[in-house]
Amino acid sequence: MTWPFIDIQGLEKRFGAVRAVQPCDLGIGSGEFFSLLGPSGCGKTTLLRMIGGLESPSGGKVFIDGSDVTRLPAHRRPTNMVFQSYAIFPHLTVGENIAYGLARRRPTPAERDAAVQRMLELIHLPGFADRRPDQLSGGQLQRVALARALVLKPKVLLLDEPLAALDKKLRENMQLELRRLQREVGITFILVTHDQEEALTLSDRIAVMQEGRVLQCSSPRELYERPTSHAVAAFVGEMNFLPARVTRANGNSVLLEVAGLGPLAVPPAACALAAGDAVTLALRPERLAIRPAREGQPIFEVRESTYFGNRTLYQVAGGGLAEPLAVFHANDLERADAVFEPGVRVGLTADAAAAVILPA
Ligand SMILES: Nc1ncnc2c1ncn2[C@@H]1O[C@H](COP(=O)(O)OP(=O)(O)O)[C@@H](O)[C@H]1O
Ligand SMILES: [Mg+2]
């Protein structure tokens, strides 16, 4: 097995004047659950279709398991695709739909039935072979679509927003189901989604795309905790951005003067910094703690509080900041008595170790 299993080199796609995918390099491992995440129109589908051979690139190459597949049609690649619109044939039974994926292999009836049974067990729908698609729920239909794509035993399954049509609860169930299926079959999954929570919970690694470019490619945790750009920090989760100036920078830490919060020692940035540089400090709402106001420390005022059951979101203004800060407050046992009404004067404590320095 070669690393990377899927090697994308300078791959790009132009539709006339539209640069749908800018020259892009990515390496994806065998057995990896990999996601392409970004807003609508950023080029996710186009990139996925080029990997699957459904779209021809304007430049660059795709290698799978060491072979150059750039010029191979879809049916000669070890890939298969699942779409948002399940693309289930309404006039065929569930079993016939799954077997349809096998037709090109010309299986004997016994081989076909065994493969269908195996797939129905894999998707936890045994006994559904003779059902008609109109007797199935949305989640069941999408599982049948997955089975039909997996029955040919591809080495790579490409999934284009497969859960986008499902409502929230069902989508969350199907996310767990997707992850289970991927572990069970052990092949590479590449998932396209605009839903950051979905990408974070399912993926081994995520490539965040914007306007045809890959901005960052890393594990969910690194993406969330160590974004390398303003765009990624803003797209993945909630983020506060604070203007700041470097007071002192050495290898291990950077001392900043942060608007509203005062001096903070934060982890070093990816880029070189010198005293006097203007930067932006990114800080997650759950990395700010709200507390009663104290004499001699910056005072803020609660503008709004929104109750979410397990947590409360506070909008807190003051300290000369142009924008209010978002603060998440866990509504747990220890802090059940700490409720801050709008208009109340409060102080803030920042978890400086979790702050990220970005270019101003
Ligand atoms: N067949 C096509 N012809 C012309 N433009 C296209 C075509 N397919 C996609 N595009 C354009 O390429 C860009 C990326 O599209 P797409 O890959 O579908 O994005 P996403 O899947 O992230 O929503 C968009 O601006 C879209 O309008
Ligand atoms: Mg798309």
Range of the domain at 320: 238-359
CA-nearest residue for atom 8, ligand 1, is 46
CA-nearest residue for atom 20, ligand 1, is 41
CA neighbours within 13 Å on the CB side: how many for 237?
Answer: 23
Question: 215 in ligand 1 pocket by Cβ < 6 Å?
Answer: no
Question: How many domains, the chain?
Answer: 2
Q: What is the mean pLDDT of residues 81-89?
A: 86
* Residue 1 falls inside a structural domain: no
Residue 337 burial by CB count (10 A; 0-12/13-18/19+): exposed, middle or buried?
exposed
* Percentage of the chain modeled with pLDDT above 70: 99
Confidence of residue 125 (pLDDT cuts 50, 70, 90): very high
135 and 223 belong to one structural domain = yes
Q: Residue 330 maps to which CATH number?
A: 2.40.50.140
Closest among 174, 170, 158 to 83, alpha carbons compared: 158
**Paired tokens of 24:** 């892009």
Question: 40 in ligand 1 pocket by Cβ < 6 Å?
Answer: yes
CA-nearest residue for atom 12, ligand 1, is 20
Q: Among 231, 260, 277, give the residue marking a domain's end.
A: 231
Q: Residue 200 maps to which CATH number?
A: 3.40.50.300
Question: 15 in ligand 1 pocket by Cβ < 6 Å?
Answer: yes
pLDDT of residue 63: 98
Cα–Cα distance measured from residue 149 to residue 146, given in angstroms and rounded to the nearest whole number: 5
**Cβ–Cβ under 8 Å, residues 114 and 191:** no
101 and 216 belong to one structural domain = yes
- Residue 121's contacts (CB-CB under 8 Å, 6 or more residues apart) are none
Question: 163 in ligand 1 pocket by Cβ < 6 Å?
Answer: no
CA distance readout (Å), 309 to 127, 306, 314, 335, 343: 41, 9, 13, 13, 21
CA-nearest residue for atom 24, ligand 1, is 41
Cα-to-centroid distance, 14 and ligand 1 (Å): 9
Q: Among 178, 204, 231, give the residue marking a domain's end.
A: 231
Instruction: Find the helix or strand (DSSP H, E) in which 302 lies.
Output: strand 300-307
* Residue 78 falls inside a structural domain: yes
Question: 41 in ligand 1 pocket by Cβ < 6 Å?
Answer: yes
Could you read off the pLDDT of 170-222 as tens digits, one per residue? 899 999 999 999 999 999 999 999 999 999 999 999 999 999 999 999 999 99
258 and 227 belong to one structural domain = no
Q: Among 231, 253, 268, give the residue marking a domain's end.
A: 231
Give the length of the chain.
360
Ligand lying nearest the CA atom of residue 164: 2
* Residue 196 falls inside a structural domain: yes
- Residue 109's contacts (CB-CB under 8 Å, 6 or more residues apart) are none
Cross-sheet strand order for the sheet of 18-28: 18-28, 6-15, 59-64, 67-68
For the entire predicted model, the pTM comes to: 0.93
Confidence of residue 62 (pLDDT cuts 50, 70, 90): very high
State yes or no: pLDDT of 15 exceeds 80.
Answer: yes
* Residue 260 falls inside a structural domain: yes
State yes or no: pLDDT of 225 exceeds 90.
Answer: yes
